[in-house]
């Protein structure tokens, strides 16, 4: 089986890390064969640190070829960049990527897939990132901006550079979210050496990437952070949204 996962790699000293997209041949659980890892006084893996994504999932979490712009229009021979994107130059181009969706394709319902295509064709007007809105989950993890994890025995907090986004991941369930929000409400727990964050209460205004991949307010996200060595963390996320997708899927 060919799986796509995020692997977080230490780059500078004790508290600075980066994220790279990795391909795993075999079961994802093969990554769980760990060396000695830093631990807290309570014996849990120590995830404290600064992290940043290095990869192409920010542009499109599905496999994709390089193209001249995020938004194209018909040309005399082949599609060309939309007029509004010409001023972006190389900044508006899209690098190729193998994608991070397990199985390679998001299982959209027909109407939701049509909306995804429409979003992509109108990227400059619709992408929440263009408007500097909060990025949502899991997009905040693999944007090209750093984020910092603060972990203690009773708290788990993530601060993202982009848009000043914050997440207080509750270690005790406070009950259903009172309102839907950009970053949702997450409740965390440990499964062995893996930190699991179960997110719900999201609004429908965030995307997964710059390619128009979207969800509804019914989405739930289960994230898993597994430290596989002193210098690596495996990041996985399962997304479920029966109003948008035909089945749960993973990155």
Domain ranges of the chain: 2-63+98-250, 68-97
What residues in the chain have per-residue pLDDT under 50? 1-4, 11-34
Terminal CA-to-CA distance of the chain, rounded, Å? 14
**What pLDDT score does 55 carry?**
84
**What pLDDT score does 86 carry?**
63
The DSSP code sequence of 6-39 is: EEEEEEETTTEEEEEEEEEES-GGGGG------B
**What pLDDT score does 1 carry?**
35
In tens, the pLDDT along 70-107 reads: 767 777 776 666 666 666 666 677 889 999 999 999 99
- Dist CA 11 CA 131 (whole Å): 31
Question: Is the pTM of the predicted complex or chain greater than 0.85?
Answer: no
Residue 187 near residue 220, CB atoms below 8 Å: no
* Dihedral sign computed on CA atoms, order 213, 157, 55, 237: negative
Alpha helices in the chain (DSSP H): 110-121, 123-126, 139-142
């Amino acid at each position: 089986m060919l799986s796509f996962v995020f692997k977080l790699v230490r780059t500078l000293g004790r508290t600075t890390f980066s994220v790279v997209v990795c391909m795993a041949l075999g079961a994802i659980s093969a990554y769980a064969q760990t060396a000695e890892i830093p631990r807290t006084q309570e014996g849990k893996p120590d995830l404290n640190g600064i992290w940043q994504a290095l990869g192409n999932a920010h542009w499109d979490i599905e496999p994709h070829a390089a193209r001249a712009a995020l938004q194209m229009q018909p040309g005399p021979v082949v599609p060309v960049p939309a007029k509004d994107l010409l001023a972006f130059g190389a900044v508006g181009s899209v690098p190729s990527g193998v994608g991070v969706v397990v199985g390679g394709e998001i299982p959209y319902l027909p109407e939701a897939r049509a909306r995804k295509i429409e979003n992509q064709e109108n990227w400059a007007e619709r992408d929440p990132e263009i408007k500097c809105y909060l990025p949502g989950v899991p997009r905040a993890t693999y944007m090209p901006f750093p984020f910092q994890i603060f972990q203690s025995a009773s708290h788990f907090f993530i601060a993202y550079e982009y848009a000043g986004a914050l997440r207080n991941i509750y270690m005790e369930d406070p009950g259903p979210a009172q309102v839907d929000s950009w970053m949702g409400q997450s409740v965390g727990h440990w499964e062995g050496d893996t930190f699991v964050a179960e997110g719900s209460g999201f609004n429908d205004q965030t995307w997964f990437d710059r390619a128009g991949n979207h969800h509804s307010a019914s989405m739930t996200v289960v994230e898993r952070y597994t430290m596989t060595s002193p210098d690596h963390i495996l990041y996985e996320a399962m997304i479920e949204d029966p109003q948008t997708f035909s089945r749960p899927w993973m990155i």
